[in-house]
Structure 1
Amino acid sequence: MNSQIAPDQINAAGHLTIGGVDSLELAKEYGTPLVVYDVAQIRRQIRAFKKVFEQRQVDYAVSYASKAFAAIAMYQVVAHEGGHVDVVSAGELYTAIKANFPMENVSFHGNNKSRAELEMAVDHHVGMIVIDNFHEIELLNEVLASRDQSIDVMIRITPGISAHTNKYIQTGQVDSKFGFDLQSGQADEALQKILASPRMHMKGLHAHIGSQIFELNGFQMAAAKLVEIAAHWRDEFGYEPEIVNVGGGFGIRYVSADHPLKPEDFVAAIIETIKEETQKLNLKMPAVWIEPGRSIAGPAGYNLYTVGSRKDVPGLLPYVMIDGGMGDNIRPALYEAEYETVLAADPQAENAETVRLAGKYCESGDILSQHQPLPKTKPGDVLAMLDTGAYGYAMASNYNRNPRPAVVFAENGQAHLVIERESLDDLVHLDRSYSQA
């Protein structure tokens, strides 16, 4: 049996269940490809993060990084669990608004926020703007002045720490498009500009060193660096941050070769580092904010696919084709991400062969797994790919004019359709005819 599947996820028929719902019934009712979330798993992880802070009596916010998966239903679950969210676009903010998410618990990130996006954030009284560059300071000041309003902000810095992760998802190193550099004095200059603004209330500093990180050291170094900056700002400018936001990036298990710590163990180490460093430097213990996305959404998600055709070539791994692919999960093609897949009808079945799990898109690189052990499969079998909840649907596309899949939330044995499957009409509803004169 796959070690990522708990015994209680197998029902009396031997089928995989998600949130207490038979995966074959889900595929039958909603069709495939289908994205399914185990909502209880989302709740458990948010609560596990909160428990770490509460046990240590530290003021905190668990802010879900909604770029991992943004939907009205997801924001509603996070709100129900008392979490915050961070958004990075007008679209994510609009989705949170439609979910009636408390705007005071929303942080707005982004390295190139437009005037329209900042106006939208200010008009809806977003709780925090994370300032990323000098242009944004000027732009936000103009927007606030035009509305005679003020807003809470924090500064994003690049701490000069390169996380051991894929180069495309490193963000904390000096050479990054995100945040203010420390060594050149940019962060100090940004602080002074913000403190000089009567409309911006400077609340703290933020850093994010990357994503899918397995090692504690980078987080501990980043936490210590943030406290060091806080002490420098206190001594140099008389400003002491109320909040230290350490971002997210806590790694999760995708395949058997992955051995990450529990996400909450990363947070415990970060808190202890901040406590130690603040005591050394005679600083007040700040509130500690985290921004987990993948670690909340990833393990809760499953992609269900139906097997179609097969290609066998002597001496080579066979291709098993499924009805989804890079359009609903670009990560394997984009940066060779790996997943594990099981037969939904019998997750305990012995593997009989290793195959290449291929998608239906017209790209040779549309391979979801280059080496996937599976039982013998036949057309019509349903496969369940595990831990797909982060950056799958969020990065989905209509390549080859394929509709994006439906999304279902499953909890307590009940399934709820939270995003409808796109129709063929949906694909052309923005198209307009063109006639040459």
Structure 2
Amino acid sequence: MTSGLAQRRRGAREAALAGAVEGGLLGPQAPLVGLLDVDGVLAAVDALREAFAGPAPVQHTFAAKACGLVPVLRLLAEAGMGCEVASPGELEQALAAGFPFDRLVFDSPAKTVRELEFALAHGIAINLDNFQELARVDALLAGRPAAGPVGLRVNPQVGAGAIGAMSTATATSKFGIALRDPGAVQAVVDAFAARPWLNRLHAHVGSQGCPLPLIAQGIRAAYELAERINATLGRRQVTGLDIGGGLPVDFSGEEDRPTYADYVAELRGAVPGLFDGRYTLVTEFGRSLLAKSGTVASLVEYTKSAGGRRIAVTHAGAQVATRTVFMPDAWPLRAGVFDAAGRPKQGPTEPVDIAGPCCFAGDLTATGRELPVVEPGDVVALYDTGAYYFSSHFSYNSLPRPAVYGYRVDAGGRVRFAPVRTAQTVHEVVQESGAAHADALLALLPGGGTGRPAGAL
């Protein structure tokens, strides 16, 4: 049985696709577009807050890496979210979106001195990755208290989920201080004992493919370490636990499974003391907040057969669906077929490969998928693409970034669109590729580029 939320989402998506075609946002002059369901995003934020309601104070932050588009970040800021950033670019995007300093969390395993100075001076919460970074902050503070919370990231080393590359709590993960390494726990306790301004622990087990019990096991390790530190020091120095994000998204269906309520129930069972109000909790969800609300839609340019396989050639490939193309088993996407007016196609189905525009054979977003017969001029929609697919563009073949629009659908089925990102022009692609320095390398040649003598290079 389909839930009301899933039915609303599907209906709004279909209305938006038809509206995009009718309004010229998707068509021959704009054959690829991203569409974001604004009400779906806000519903996800509400579900997150509801799941964590209780005595423990919670700061929910959005992981900017999942969709670093300023209007999307601004929407989340207005909804009361904070923002987790992991690079100078993400930090500037968050500030441009209006997040105040005290709602930012800065995570990165490679923070520079300048980045640390900025965060420390402006009260941005920081999670330090290693003991060398901790020593760097010692020098920067020079005995002064930090203006904002400072935490230490730990790796509970609880193992990998189904996708190794997305698992951050393995024995050899590059992130955090590995707690099961000899002497590590005592070194962490000693670090807190020597620094009264160190007041948080951070643990993130991974995202996508990590089962809830594994995530809970990692968070429990961080909680138990916080309890040990406070007991050893005889004071409540650790006052906050940043438990990361990582709620998996079910890309095989319309429903939100697991839910935030499922996640919290798992945590309550594994770490009941986490929610009693003694610790401020920080979350860093990204994909689960946006994925189900996004659609990448492309015109079908051609259809063909090869070796008995039907192929639909679209404009959506590795440049927007990078992970899906290169790791299709780990990142599968559902696809739908719509006619030239943007209406869902009906009728007999056939197995078809959905191909992108990139010039390599593996540029496929779906393989052998049973779909209504696809024809040139139709629209293929890739579902659950609200996170990463809009903002993590892969510039293969110098393909430009597509436009992205947010939408809302009223009770009468009328759609309103708002621009999130303007489509990149081919001219902008050329300029970005160094056109302003077109002659620069020639200046290194004998004669300053006036000619190339035989055998000069």
TM-score (ref. length: structure 2):
0.85
Which residue of structure 1 lines up, in the alignment, with residue 34 of structure 2? 35
SS at match of 1:16: helix
Instruction: Specify whether residues 19 and 314 from structure 1 end up closer, same or farther in structure 2 by C-alpha distance, changes over 3 A only.
Output: closer
Residue pair 2:18, 2:343 contacting (<8 A) in 1 also: no
Q: How many Å apart are 1:152 and its aligned residue?
A: 1.7
The correspondence for 1:207, drawn from 194, 200, 203, is 203
Of residues 332, 335, 349 in structure 2, which corresponds to 1:338? 332
Range with greater deviation from structure 2 (84-93 or 412-421): 412-421
| Cross-structure match for 2:416 | 414
Long gaps (5+) in structure 1:
none
2:297 paired with 1:304: yes
| Whole-angstrom CA distance in 1 between matches of 2:31 and 2:10 | 20
Counterpart of 2:454 in structure 1 is none
What secondary structure, in the 3-state scheme, does the structure 2 residue paired with 1:393 have? coil
Give CA deviations for 1:42-82 in whole Å, capped at 9, x if unaligned: 1111111111222x332111111111111111211111111
Residue in 2 that maps onto 1:291: 284
Q: Does the residue aligned with 1:319 lie in a helix, a strand or coil?
A: strand
Q: Percent identity?
A: 25
Contact 2:206-2:215 at 8 Å conserved across structures: no
After superposition, the C-alpha distances for 1:193-229 in whole angstroms (9 at most, x for unaligned) are 355347xx22221111111146321122123222211
Check the 8 A contact 2:17/2:343 in 1, yes or no: no
CA contact (8 A) 1:212 1:252 kept: yes
Amino acid at match of 1:36: L
Aligned to 2:106: 108
Structure 2 partner of 1:328:
320
| Aligned residue number for residue 15 of structure 2 | 17
Q: SS at the partner of 1:255?
A: coil
CA shift in 2, pair 1:71/1:120, >3 Å: farther
Matched, 1:394 2:387: no
Q: Using a 3 Å threshold, how does the CA distance of structure 1 residues 24 and 188 change in structure 2: closer, same or farther?
A: farther
Task: State the distance in 2 between where 1:19 and 1:364 align.
Answer: 29
Contact 2:124/2:149 (<8 A) preserved: yes
Choose the corresponding residue for 1:59, options 57, 60, 74: 57
Native 8 Å contact 1:53 1:59 kept in 2: no
Q: How does 1:43-82 map to 2 (within 5 A)?
A: 43-54=42-53, 56-82=54-80
Secondary structure, counterpart of 2:149 in structure 1: strand
Residues in 1 aligned to 2:52 and 2:371: alpha-carbon distance in whole angstroms:
41
The one of the two structures with greater contact order (alpha-carbon pairs below 8 A, sep at least 6) is 1
Could you tell me how far apart the structure 2 residues matched to 1:30 and 1:144 are?
55
Given that 2:268 and 2:274 are in contact with CA atoms closer than 8 Å, whether structure 1 keeps it comes out as no
Q: Deviations over 1:271-314 (max 9, x none)?
A: 453325788xxxx6312222111100111111011101223024
In structure 2, distance between residues paired with 1:323 and 1:100: 34
Q: Which amino acid aligns with 1:396?
A: H
1:306-356 deviation digits (Å, cap 9, x = unpaired): 1012230243x2221101210111011232211011123333624511111
Instruction: Kindly state the Cα deviation for residue 91 of structure 1 after the two structures are TM-superposed.
Output: 0.1
Letter of the structure 2 residue corresponding to residue 303 of structure 1:
V
CA distance in structure 2 between the partners assigned to 1:173 and 1:399 by the alignment: 31
Cα distance, 1:8–1:136 mapped onto 2, change above 3 Å: closer
Paired residues, number: 425
> Is contact 2:303-2:374 (8 Å) kept?
no
- Counterpart CA distance in 1 for 2:275 and 2:376 is 60
Asked whether the 8 Å contact 1:19–1:37 carries over to 2, the reply is no
Normalized against structure 1, the TM-score is what? Answer: 0.88
- Structure 1 residues 299 and 24, CA, compared in 2 at 3 Å: closer, same or farther? farther
CA-atom RMSD in angstroms? 2.9
Partner of 2:455: none
Q: Quote the offset at 1:153 in angstroms.
A: 0.8
Q: Does the 8 Å CA contact 2:9/2:40 hold for their aligned counterparts?
A: no
1:57-114 Cα offsets, whole Å, 9 max, x none, are 3211111111111111121111111111100000000011111211100000011112
In structure 2, the residue matched to 1:373 is: 370
**Farther-moved stretch of structure 1 (234-243 vs 172-181):** 234-243
- Report the CA distance between 1:235 and its aligned residue: 2.8
**Counterpart of 1:231?**
227
SS in structure 2 opposite 1:415? Answer: strand
Call closer, same or farther: CA 1:311–1:297 in 2, change over 3 Å.
same
Distance 2:202 2:256 in 1: 27
